[in-house]
Amino acid sequence: MGVRQENGTPRKLGPVTEEEIADVTDNEVRKYLRGEGANLEVIQDKKLKGQLAVREELYGKSAKTAAKAEKWLMPTEGGYLDAEGIEKTWRIKQDTIAREVDISSSKKQYDIVLPDFGPYTLDFTSSGRYMAAAGHKGHLAIIDLQNLGVIKELQDEMMLIGVTGIVVNENVEFRGRGKRWILVADLILYRCIAEVREAVRDVVFLHNELFFAAAQNKYLYIYNRDGTELHCLKEHGAVLKLQFLKNHFLLASINNFGQLHYQDVTTGEMVNNYRTGLGRSDVLQVNPFNGVIASGHSGGTVNMWKPTSAAPLVKMLCHRGPVTGLAFHPNGHLMATAGMDKKIKLWDLRKFQVLQTLPGHAKTLDFSQKGLLATATGSFIQVLGDFSGSQNYSRYMGHSMAKGYQIQKVSFRPYEDVLGIGHSMGWSSILIPGAGEPNFDSWVANPFETSKQRREKEVRSLLDKLPAEAIMLDPSKIGTVRSARKKEKPTKQEREAEIEAAVAAAKSVSLKKKTKGRNKPSKLVKKRQQGIERAKRPLLEQQMEEELSKKKKRKMSEDNQLPKSLQRFARKTATV
């Protein structure tokens, strides 16, 4: 990924020896180790120690094998920009890149101008093959990006059926008229097209390209690939922003009242809905690492949610002003936020601390698979990259939209070095070398999926569907042992035993001999009694205090019983 200042030492020519293949650095292996190994030194049990040692060795071996496979067996290498001398990567323009790259890559640079429906928002499938575009004025489209390369050949056909728009590619412009966008040919450019005649605020793909959800003026709708409306989800209300959790098959939305809904798309069950209580928000992003959803609010806070608790998992005050954009690094440890206070902040989600604060506005943010951060405001896009390896983001590339098109959404295309931009006049695609993961895994997301593979995968992913309870801040906790709880309050028996011990201690104190008349047995008994009382008192007082506070708490909660008409405004108690 990223910049190469100069060429490294050239790789030795000729066949690779066995030792060279086995030679992987610790750094390359660490990525696959999934954390530190168990500390075997402290284990007393010899049998357990032996078993764990065997296991650890196995983990080490498999990590090394994976590292070797990464080093030698990957079919493609990542893209990069080669800046030389004093040349700066952020000065390199898109047309310069277009001249240098191969033809098929240069075809990925294009602007599609659709002035009637903008601004546009975009979503890619997890394999990056399909894109859904939604024009705010009522246009939905699904595009097979692999066949988009044939734009030029298709122009005549497009003109024939009448397209409203301009396609700019390699200085070719053309214009058409008409309103409908249906192209059903062998080479399918736009698969689905629906003119919905109402505002479309957001669009997301569900688990594959066959289904997508669109947030429209009043309700949320689910369509299939051909643009047929399948469901109208009225319960969500007027949704502003949508997210889909593909491991859990949950569709999450936030509506104009700031209500968060989680709906299971396999059963149709509404898993949960919460009032954020923080007003209208259109900043919602799922953390791909753990499935936790973050929402940004006008008060400058970012709240993180899971479907099984009404109270947010995390509340962070990120900005002194409304939060405008939010993005998560694919490794889940880094979050980028942008606010109206003209700041872009990078957060470490393990410590919930800010790592870096950059100046500037951003309406939309997105992290690429390789960790590049795209920020956009107005008609300008800036791509930041972490080239020092120490979470220090700096300028990598920039791009200005032609004619001042206002950017609505930027989104990196998975497995490609491409940034998709939805703007006021349609959508565009530019090349960002080193953005995408160059090698896909056929079992995770396959851009070249056949329909049979897609069907198989649908079944398999349904079998592996995670329950909503699996969403938590640290997903590696599943299957581990919960550490022992802290000592609870003393039990009644313990308390009694404590008092008894104090009494026994007070009884056994030997009293001093006093002068005549003050050493009478009655006096002695009285004195001893007083000693016992004195020993008992602090313990009893403590007990009474606790009871009193308990009673008080109960009373408080009773007081909170509002009249029935007002009860719906009461805040729900946290159930974490």
Partner 1 sequence: MKPKKKKVTDPNPKGWLQPEAGRKKYPRVFHNFDPNLRTQEKAVEYVRALNAAKLEKIFARPFIGAMDGHRDSVSCMAKNPNHLKGIFSGSMDGDIRLWDIASSVRLWSVPIAAAMESDGISDSSNKPLAVHVSKNAFWAADHQWDGDLFATAGAQVDIWDHNRSQPVKSFEWGSDTVISVRFNPGEPNILATSASDRSITVYDLRMDSPARKLIMRTRTNSISWNPMEPMNFTASSTSYAYRQMKIAIAIAMMLENWMKPNVSTKIMLDIDYSPTGREFVTGSYDRTVRIFQYNGGHSREIYHTKRMQRVFCVKFSWDASYVISGSDDTNLRLWKAKASEQLGVILPRERKKHEYMEAVKNRYKHLPEVKRITRHRHLPKPVYKASALRRIMAAAERRKEDRRRAHSTPGSMPKESMVEDELRKIS
Interface with partner 1 (CB under 8 A): 4, 31-32, 34, 66, 69-70, 73-84, 87, 92, 96-97, 100-102, 104-105, 108, 146, 247, 288-291, 330-332, 369, 415-418, 431, 433, 436-448, 450, 453, 463-467, 470, 475-476, 478-479
Structure tokens at 143: 């595009």
Give min distance, CB of 279 to partner 1, in A: 31
CA angle 209, 399, 146 (to 5 degrees): 25
User: Which CB, 466 or 532, lies closer to partner 1?
Assistant: 466
CA angle 398, 402, 408 (to 5 degrees): 75
Nearest alpha carbon to residue 118 among 164, 170, 151? 164
User: Which CB, 205 or 221, lies closer to partner 1?
Assistant: 205
User: Which CB, 14 or 479, lies closer to partner 1?
Assistant: 479
User: Which CB, 237 or 434, lies closer to partner 1?
Assistant: 434
Give min distance, CB of 439 to partner 1, in A: 5
User: Which CB, 100 or 545, lies closer to partner 1?
Assistant: 100
Structure tokens at 303: 């709240």
Nearest alpha carbon to residue 362 among 345, 387, 385? 345
Does residue 4 contact residue 80 with C-beta atoms inside 8 Å?
yes
Does residue 366 contact residue 412 with C-beta atoms inside 8 Å?
yes
Give min distance, CB of 208 to partner 1, in A: 17
Which phi and psi (to 5°) does residue 347 adopt?
Answer: -115, 140
Give min distance, CB of 463 to partner 1, in A: 6
Amino acid code (one letter) for 124: F
Does residue 376 contact residue 69 with C-beta atoms inside 8 Å?
no
Give min distance, CB of 308 to partner 1, in A: 13
User: Which CB, 215 or 468, lies closer to partner 1?
Assistant: 468
Give min distance, CB of 257 to partner 1, in A: 30
User: Which CB, 149 or 531, lies closer to partner 1?
Assistant: 149
* Spacing of C-alpha 212 from chain mean position: 19
User: Which CB, 187 or 340, lies closer to partner 1?
Assistant: 187
Give min distance, CB of 347 to partner 1, in A: 18
Nearest alpha carbon to residue 79 among 331, 324, 385, 401? 385
In angstroms, the Cα distances linking 480 to 114, 469, 475, 476 are 53, 15, 11, 8
Beta-strand ranges (E) seen in 256-341 are 259-264, 270-275, 283-286, 293-296, 301-305, 314-317, 323-328, 334-339
CA–CA separation, 241 vs 261, rounded Å?
11
CA angle 186, 190, 193 (to 5 degrees): 125
Does residue 193 contact residue 182 with C-beta atoms inside 8 Å?
yes
CA–CA separation, 31 vs 407, rounded Å?
36
Does residue 498 contact residue 539 with C-beta atoms inside 8 Å?
yes
User: Which CB, 443 or 569, lies closer to partner 1?
Assistant: 443
Please name the residues in contact with 82: beta carbons below 8 A apart, sequence gap of 6 or more. Answer: 3, 4
User: Which CB, 94 or 356, lies closer to partner 1?
Assistant: 94
Give the residue ranges of DSSP H helices in 73-150.
94-100, 103-106
CA–CA separation, 82 vs 85, rounded Å?
10
Give min distance, CB of 209 to partner 1, in A: 15
CA–CA separation, 146 vs 316, rounded Å?
40
CA–CA separation, 324 vs 407, rounded Å?
13
User: Which CB, 83 or 278, lies closer to partner 1?
Assistant: 83
Give min distance, CB of 187 to partner 1, in A: 13
Give min distance, CB of 514 to partner 1, in A: 45
CA–CA separation, 296 vs 550, rounded Å?
37
Give min distance, CB of 428 to partner 1, in A: 16
Give min distance, CB of 27 to partner 1, in A: 14
User: Which CB, 331 or 392, lies closer to partner 1?
Assistant: 331
CA–CA separation, 271 vs 468, rounded Å?
8
Give min distance, CB of 125 to partner 1, in A: 14
User: Which CB, 126 or 263, lies closer to partner 1?
Assistant: 126
User: Which CB, 309 or 446, lies closer to partner 1?
Assistant: 446
CA–CA separation, 434 vs 273, rounded Å?
39
Give min distance, CB of 32 to partner 1, in A: 6
